[in-house]
Amino acid sequence: MSMNKHDIQHKQAFDEPLWWGLFSAGGVCFAVLLPAVILFIAVLLPLGLLPAEALSYERASSLLFSVPGFLFVGAAVCLPLFHAAHRLRHGMFDISVGNDALNKKLMYGGAALLSALALGLVVAGFFS
Amino acid sequence: MSTEQISTNVISTQSASTKHISVKRYLPDNSTETYWQEYDLPVDDSTSLLDALNHIKEQLDSTLSYRWSCRMAICGSCGVMVNGIPKLGCKTFLRDYEGDIRIEPLAHFPVQRDLVVDMEIFLEHLAAVKPYLIDDNPVKPYDPNAPETYQQTPEQLERYKQFANCINCGLCYSACPQFGLNPEFLGPAALTLAHRYNLDSRDNGKKQRMAELNRHDGVWSCTFVGFCSKVCPKHVDPAAAVNQGKVEAAKHTLIALFKG
């Protein structure tokens, strides 16, 4: 395999570090934040083990539609989305489904769209 | 049975037990089909798989082909699949196996004959990452009358020492599902050796190697399955090296972006 310098430069994967960085950051958020989020919102709250007004509509909206709320959604929704997209893309390559160039666009594109939607909702709530 | 002394242990006929092994045969001169052949061998506690193959070759079936040389896990030539797991024949002992023992050529490589595979693509990937010291700008010009040796502290040695133990046996390539899917992937050993030289204080070739590593077929094809590190007979931990290589490739890309 004698590849000249031009070929190697041409084949540089400039996008991969970005996807891998988002995947890594998403993995950390997935592991650290999501169990706590699920515990509070999906287990303790429905079981009535939290004070009733802990996440009342007023309190929840003021928490969510704020700068910390924006960061929270970024960390608990957007980054894990990119983590999942990366895994799905590589998983599809592993089982030989589709082609990688298209899968990349679909997976990361999907994650970007859903992220924009989630963050857009927070911004919309902030200004309403 | 012959008692002639050969380079490996001659299996004694007084040994307590007999083991049954199946070897996947491929003799392209006779047929394009592969088939399983069964052998019964006398074994004792010290019988390695390589001893067993030598016993077959010398006593039972001289048509069997396989590679071997040092019989002490340093030459890296006797890699085969044992019950689907890549192993060195000389480092695998039949005493550790109950029941069926199935021997196949290393996975993910083209088979030439019986247990002999074509390692060419692995050697090409190795060469691509320039696994040798590159020093284009030595601190002092080389003076043949007073040659200076490179000096290295124990700490500097420690940084890359573990990754320097690779014997190029190719077991990690047989273990790597990504290499199986895409033979253009540089693969565990080549990426590890690249990392080993990048970490060496005497080396200045990192820039040349990063161009190879930062390709889709470089570090980015690795999905951190980690089986390479499990099967490595020298405990090199290629998975760690490849993933440290991802950090380096990401840094390389960022720097390239800012420099334009």
In whole angstroms, give the CA distance from residue B220 to residue B249. 9
pLDDT in tens, chain B (260 residues): 444 444 455 555 555 789 999 999 999 999 999 999 999 999 999 999 999 999 999 999 999 999 999 999 999 999 999 999 999 999 999 999 998 899 999 999 999 999 999 999 999 999 999 999 998 766 677 778 877 777 899 999 999 999 999 999 999 999 999 999 999 999 999 999 999 999 999 999 999 999 999 999 999 999 999 999 999 999 999 999 999 999 999 999 999 888 86
A21 contacts on B by Cβ (under 8 Å): 250
**Does domain B120-259 sit in CATH 3.40.50.970?**
no
Sheet holding B101-104, edge to edge: B34-43, B17-26, B101-104, B79-82, B85-88
Are the CB atoms for B181 and A96 separated by under 8 Å? yes
pLDDT at A128: 83
3-state SS string for B181-215: HCCCCCCHHHHHHHHHHHCCCCCCCHHHHHHHHCE
pLDDT at A6: 57
Q: State both tokens at B217.
A: 């077929």
Q: Which fold has domain B17-117?
A: Ubiquitin-like (UB roll) (3.10.20)
Phi and psi torsions of B73, nearest 5°: 55, 40
Q: How far is CA B168 from CA B12, B75, B119, B128, B154, in A?
A: 32, 8, 10, 14, 25
CA distance A67 to chain B (A): 28
Q: State both tokens at B167.
A: 């014997």
pLDDT at A10: 61
pLDDT at A11: 78
Closest Cα partner for B115 from B226, B36, B7?
B36
Name the packing angle between helices A79-94 and A16-32 (round to 10°): 120
Residue with tokens 């023992």: B101
Cβ-Cβ contacts under 8 Å between A and B: the total is 48
User: What are the residue boundaries of the structural domains of chain B, listed by start?
Assistant: 17-117, 120-259
Query: Angle CA(A87)–CA(B181)–CA(B23) in degrees, nearest 5?
Result: 130
Residue with tokens 């077929």: B217
pLDDT at A1 over 50: no
A17 contacts on B by Cβ (under 8 Å): 214, 246, 249-250, 253-254
Residues near B198 by beta carbon (within 8 Å), at least 6 away in sequence: B205, B206, B209, B210, B245, B248
Chain centroid to CA B81: 12
CB contact under 8 A, B214 and A13: yes
Q: Which domains, and CATH codes, for chain A?
A: 17-127 (1.20.1300.10)
Residues near A43 by beta carbon (within 8 Å), at least 6 away in sequence: none
The β-bridge partners of B61 are none
CB contact under 8 A, A13 and B215: yes
pLDDT at B139: 65
CA atoms within 13 A on the CB side of B170: 29
Please name the amino acid found at residue B193: L
In the three-class reduction of DSSP (H, G, I as helix; E, B as strand; rest coil), residue B179 is classed as helix
pLDDT at A13 over 90: no
Name which of B212, B220, B257 is nearest A8 (Cβ-Cβ).
Answer: B212
- Give the residue from chain A lying closest to B245, CA to CA: A17
CA distance A86 to chain B (A): 10
- What is the Cα Rg of chain B in Å? 22
Class of residue A114 by CB neighbours under 10 A (exposed 0-12, middle 13-18, buried 19+): middle
pLDDT at B143: 78
CA atoms within 13 A on the CB side of B123: 4
ipTM: 0.82
B220 contacts on A by Cβ (under 8 Å): 13, 16, 20
In the three-class reduction of DSSP (H, G, I as helix; E, B as strand; rest coil), residue B23 is classed as strand
**Chain B residues with CB-CB distance to A under 8 A?**
124-125, 127-128, 177, 181, 211-212, 214-218, 220, 223, 246, 249-250, 253-254, 256-257
Task: Please give the average per-residue pLDDT across A27-49, as a whole number.
Answer: 93
In the three-class reduction of DSSP (H, G, I as helix; E, B as strand; rest coil), residue A37 is classed as helix
In whole angstroms, give the CA distance from residue A30 to residue B175. 29
Q: How far is CA B184 from CA A22, A50, A87, B69, in A?
A: 25, 55, 21, 28
- Give the residue from chain A lying closest to B220, CA to CA: A16
